[in-house]
Amino acid sequence: MKFTSHVLALASLTFHLAASSTISSPQNDINSRQQNTWPNGPFVTDGRYIRDTTGANIKYAGVNWPGHGEVMIPEGLQYQSIATIVSKIGSSSGGIGLNAIRLTFAIQMVDEIYANGGKDIALQKAFVQGLGQTNGTRVLNQVLAKNPQFTANTTRLEVFDAVAAECYRQKIYVHIDNHISKGMWCCGTGDGNSWWGDTYFDAQKWARGLAYMASHAKAWPAFVSLSLRNEPREPTSNPSLAKSSYNWQTWNTYMRQGAAAVHAANPNILIFLSGLNYDTTLTPVVRNQPLSPSSQTKFNLSDFPGGPQKKIVLELHNYETGATSCSSLQNNLYNNGFQSMATNPGTGINVFPVMLTEFGFAMDANTYKGVYATCLANYLPTQTAGWFIWVLVGSYYIREGIQNYDEAWGLFTRDWTGWRSTGYVNGVLAKMARDTLAR
């Protein structure tokens, strides 16, 4: 990207932030929350730790709940009520004891709100738009039967609101994640959503969408943090864009822009930054190395909002499911970013909380007994920030053109009635959560 495009994008951000405050009208404001009541926010970072207002160390033991697909609402509601799903996640109603969800959304949802004069579209239109007239109507009726608090005229954001409200009732943190721009399955280097300036990835609309969601979610007492973008990656379908801007220096420019948009809209939440190559590395950020192609520019926390309030958290993904050595897997995590949380990280290292916001594998009778899953089950609870497993869903409304897509990596069965791998979920994941939250 040319420097002038960065200037124009940043200049237009003021307009978008003002517009988001006009269009979004949360029912309540964060100022109405009482301090020293759950979740004891706002959270801040303190070196390698996340702390609440009491000074306690906060760790996430969570699960990804996608809401970024073509329908653009959280998955699974045709099979179970929101209350039932959340009760299975948490601990207050006999669930597996997780304390957080990573709730994903698409920028397209916000774009459509702006295009519709500030009003979100109704579920009836969302399901027909995503699944077609016949199947969309049928699945919507199933959703309404399981969730009778909704009607066909309920909007998508009102569904997100209901999920967040139920999480608050059951004391589960809500972390929202901008997973993609165009609502669809993610991710691939040729999907048009890979990098700023890609086919569907408009930088100005992205910043506007982040600001809108950060502002809207002020009404959610359980809302504590937001990820700026899921898995930045090389845009292979746009070679000229990849050659000119797929680098750490451009990443730094846009991460600062996105963080500024979020912080201006909602200064209370933590802001998560994801790295390059599908968010598998943050090495130059952690090791204070020049951000290529520059030989001088380095990551500087003072360039980001929050400053002394310390709102920046790093996130990594790891899918080394074929690992044969736990020590090698741990070394890779250390070198790619977890070094930032080491007790003695070394001279010149930038210290942050670093969270593994995606890892996962097939939920069958045996995969969880392998090196990858067992290593992470023992290693992640010892780290200071936390984790989110991919993925909660037993099926998707639609994925890659297939409706009611069966998710083999999902914790739930296809119909969301039970756990796909009871041995893992009840025997390993529940313990992993207990061990994480006990430290």
- Averaged pLDDT in 10-residue chunks for the chain of 439 residues: 38 44 40 65 96 97 98 98 98 93 99 98 98 98 98 98 98 98 98 98 98 98 98 97 98 96 96 98 98 97 74 97 98 98 96 98 98 98 98 98 98 98 98 96
Q: How far apart are the first and last CA of the chain?
A: 44
Q: How far is 226 from 263, CA to CA, in rounded Å?
A: 10
Q: What is the pLDDT of residue 82?
A: 98
Q: At what angle do helices 3-23 and 203-216 cross, to 10 degrees?
A: 30
* Contact indicator for 397, 131 with CB cutoff of 8 Å: yes
Q: What is the pLDDT of residue 4?
A: 36
Q: What is the pLDDT of residue 307?
A: 58
Question: Which residues lie closer than 8 Å to 97 by C-beta, 6 or more apart?
Answer: 61, 90, 91, 430, 433, 434, 437
Q: What is the pLDDT of residue 94?
A: 86
Contacts 24+ apart (CB under 8 A), 141-146: 142/78, 142/79, 143/77, 143/78, 146/77, 146/78, 146/79, 146/80, 146/81
Q: What is the pLDDT of residue 306?
A: 65
Q: How far is 314 from 235, CA to CA, in rounded Å?
A: 22
How many Å is the maximal CA-CA distance in the chain? 62
Q: What is the pLDDT of residue 304?
A: 86
Query: Could you tell me which of 312, 410, 399 has the C-alpha nearest to residue 361?
Result: 410
Distances (CA, A) of 62 to 272, 365, 387, 430: 15, 22, 6, 11
Q: What is the pLDDT of residue 6?
A: 39
Hey, what amino acid is at 177? D
Question: Which residues lie closer than 8 Å to 424 by C-beta, 6 or more apart?
Answer: 363, 368, 373
